[in-house]
Amino acid sequence: MTDFPSTKYQRGKIFAQTGFKVGKNYASHYLKSLTGNGKDSADLYRKTAEDMFGQFTKLRGTALKIAQSFSIDQGFLPDEFSEVMARAQYQVPPINRTLVRSIIKRELGQYPESLFEKFDSEAIAAASIGQVHRATLKDGREVAVKIQYPGVRDTISSDIALAKTIFKQLVAKGTDLTPYIEEVQSTLLKETDYTEEGKSIDRFHERFSSDDVVTPEWLPDYSTERVLTMTYLDGVHLSEFLSNEPAQNEKDRFGQLLWDFFHNQVKDRKEVHADTHPGNFLFTEDGKLGVIDFGCVKTFPEEFFMNYLKLLPTHLNRDDGEIKALYTELNVLQGDPEKDPKEKQVYEFCKNYGFTFAMPYLADTFDFGDKEYKDLLKGYTKNPPFTNKPRGNKHFIYTTRVHLGLYHLLMTLGSRVNTVQSKEILENIFNNK
């Protein structure tokens, strides 16, 4: 790709084109419905999502990050839209080599060929706000260099405002997306500061680097707010791991490492790696779980996080009164289900979905390769009664991204996990409160 729209005018023009395409799709769909020639709404959502993804790919940055944040089942965007936007995780074309060289020169003071013993000009990964190159330092250390696309941080506010007008067309009339958009915006401001990500890398390395988990180390002398250099981790991503047809015990091992990594983060209630998707985990040859990309790290408010965790034992106990109280506290219920039929529908759905989500904690082991369970969970995540209208605390955007992302990874792996330790962690949290 030879160009990059970094000015407010250039980006505003693309957003305007996107908004026009979205509006045109909906107007055309409505006209066809009046004449009896309309197609299923799924076709509309998929066409609209494809148009938006195509335009947002040109923008990268905030636009793609918003798409990525809403790509995992949140319950208020159409399923077809979420499926297309999930490609924001990995299907982004890299910027050209000349621009890469100029960014490194501006940020680190030298061109890559002078700064590094070796620098691969071909990106090994390209995502929403930056791309990664492999390099070798003068002292022989293998490193990964993440380069932020130009102007990303500077355009966050304007991109958010423009994107909000487009997303309004995809949700129910009168829906207020402000709290959710603001949560994404505040997270983006931190995520686009690579110095902050470097500090997160250090903290996670100190907390989790072990015989089972490996994380990179930050190299601040080769980093700025827009260039991040870290030690290189050698391993394969999920798709490559599965393509080699691993034995069940290998799938179980890595599934257990993923499960334990999640619950060990919960254990001390500090920061949580909030970007649980296949691109951020590596499976190493010596059987370790590699965890990479620490841009999206979240510390949730104590009250919200405790209520969120409490949903698991409460659903398992099938305590209707406590479930209703928690849903009300978390803003999932917005009325009395005993008096409002719509709220009753929402409550019954969430109660049964919550129990399904809590099932892995029922026994001491659980098989995420169970097709019936996978189909059951998918049936709930794909058929909420409040589609196109947000429900729940704004922090659900990221807890859902973490927890449901974990389940998706484990189901794709087909792993069998031991849940004894994880249940003890949750019990200890509530007993020590």
How confident is the model over 84-109, as pLDDT tens digits?
555 555 556 788 899 999 999 999 99
- What's residue 31's pLDDT? 45
- What's residue 49's pLDDT? 59
Model confidence band, residue 72 (pLDDT cutoffs 50, 70, 90): very low
How confident is the model over 191-202, as pLDDT tens digits?
999 999 999 999
Helix, strand, or coil (residue 114):
helix
Q: Which residues contact 187 (CB under 8 A, 6 or more apart)?
A: 69, 274, 296, 298, 398
Helix, strand, or coil (residue 124):
coil
- What's residue 10's pLDDT? 59
Q: Which residues contact 223 (CB under 8 A, 6 or more apart)?
A: 194, 195, 198, 229
Copy the structure tokens of residue 376. 């059951």
On the question of pLDDT at 406 being above 50, the answer is yes
How confident is the model over 131-174, as pLDDT tens digits?
999 999 999 999 999 999 887 887 777 777 766 666 666 555 66
Task: Look at strands 272-273 and 213-214 and give their pairing.
Answer: unpaired
Higher pLDDT, 376 or 28: 376
Mean pLDDT of the chain, nearest integer: 82
Model confidence band, residue 58 (pLDDT cutoffs 50, 70, 90): low
- Count, residues in the chain: 433
- What's residue 255's pLDDT? 98
Cα–Cα distance measured from residue 134 to residue 120, given in angstroms and rounded to the nearest whole number: 6
On the question of pLDDT at 375 being above 70, the answer is yes
Q: What is the pTM of this model?
A: 0.81
On the question of pLDDT at 14 being above 80, the answer is no
On the question of pLDDT at 229 being above 60, the answer is yes
Model confidence band, residue 15 (pLDDT cutoffs 50, 70, 90): very low
Amino acid letter, residue 399 = T
Distances in whole angstroms, Cα of residue 283 to Cα of each of 155, 175, 211, 240, 254: 35, 42, 13, 9, 7
Task: Provide the percentage of residues in the chain whose pLDDT is more than 90.
Answer: 51
Cα–Cα distance measured from residue 98 to residue 95, given in angstroms and rounded to the nearest whole number: 9
Copy the structure tokens of residue 341. 């039929």
Q: What is the 3-state secondary structure (H, E, C) of 225-287?
A: CCEEEEECCCCECHHHHHHCCCCHHHHHHHHHHHHHHHHHHHHHCCCEECCCCHHHEEECCCC
Is the Cα dihedral 349, 425, 233, 413 positive or negative? negative
On the question of pLDDT at 203 being above 80, the answer is yes
Cα–Cα distance measured from residue 194 to residue 179, given in angstroms and rounded to the nearest whole number: 25
Model confidence band, residue 45 (pLDDT cutoffs 50, 70, 90): low
- What's residue 194's pLDDT? 96
User: Which uninterrupted H or E stretch holds 145?
Assistant: strand 142-148
Copy the structure tokens of residue 222. 């080769």
Q: What is the mean pLDDT of residues 321-331?
A: 94
